[in-house]
Amino acid sequence: MKSIKKYTYITIGLISAILGAVGVVLPILPTTPFLLLASYCFAKGSDRFNYWFIGTKLYKNHLESFVNKRAMTLKEKISVLVFADFMLAFPLILLNNMFIRMGIVVIIICKYYYFIFRIKTIRSEEKTIV
């Protein structure tokens, strides 16, 4: 059972890392949320994959400032928020249950609070100085 969980984390981490890498090239696909998910999955799944991922240029360019300073550029924040809003819009529109809709609205409000007040906004120049 433990190995199934481990391989599931590694698989999700690899898929997320690939989607994050594609997001670097395609502006339509957000990079940061996928890389955050990949980082989480690798940390849970395998030390070897985690150390490999932390050593990649992709991690250093897009996540290291967040992990070390709890800070993101405005562009990264907007990218994460828009992607999350897009994903939350589906159940908000499609579901007819008022309690679920209210729950989603609370999640959206909490998400914006967290990103505005709890994660520091830095300039792109500051990001390179870690």
Q: What global pTM score does this model have? A: 0.66
**Residue 65 banded pLDDT, cuts 50, 70, 90:** confident
Give me the residue spans of the domains in the chain: 1-62, 70-130
Contacts of 83 (CB under 8 A, 6+ apart): 30, 33
Q: pLDDT, tens digit, for every residue of 81-98? A: 888 888 888 888 998 999
Distances (CA, A) of 28 to 23, 35, 85, 87, 125: 7, 15, 14, 14, 24
DSSP element (H, E) containing 55: helix 47-55
Instruction: With a cut of 90, say whether residue 66 has pLDDT above it.
Output: no
